[in-house]
Amino acid sequence: MRGIGLAANNARKTHCKNGHPFDEHNAHIYRNRARICRACRAAYSNRQYHAKRERMKAVSLLLAGGVAVELLVDVDAVMGVTARREDG
Ligand SMILES: [Zn+2]
């Protein structure tokens, strides 16, 4: 990292990466030192919720298909899903 780091850049931002303004109606939230706005955070939570539902559905299908529970320790790997951080 050079003189101009991520933290320094974040401190100057007035909008999030998706263009939502950081103002009193959409206050920024520091999360793991990353800045994320309410709108993005809500969208992220929503995606997480649906992703979890999809995983649970996949597990149900696999179990119904006779796959042993022991093989489901890493469902993400089974589905080829890679969890990605969306901070910022
Ligand atoms: Zn945003």
Q: What is the pLDDT of residues 40-58, one digit of tens each?
A: 888 989 999 999 999 999 8
How far is the centre of ligand 1, averaged over its atoms, from the C-alpha of 38 (Å)? 7
pTM above 0.85? Answer: no
How far is the centre of ligand 1, averaged over its atoms, from the C-alpha of 46 (Å)? 14
Q: What is the pLDDT of residues 12-45, one digit of tens each?
A: 667 888 888 877 777 766 555 566 788 888 898 9
For residue 19, the model assigns a pLDDT of 83
How far is the centre of ligand 1, averaged over its atoms, from the C-alpha of 64 (Å)? 40
How far is the centre of ligand 1, averaged over its atoms, from the C-alpha of 43 (Å)? 9
Instruction: Give residue limits of the domains in the chain.
Output: 6-79
Per-position b or e across 34-72, b if 16+ CB within 10 A of its CB: ebbbeebbeeeeeeeeeeeeebeebbeebeeeeeeeeee
How far is the centre of ligand 1, averaged over its atoms, from the C-alpha of 19 (Å)? 6
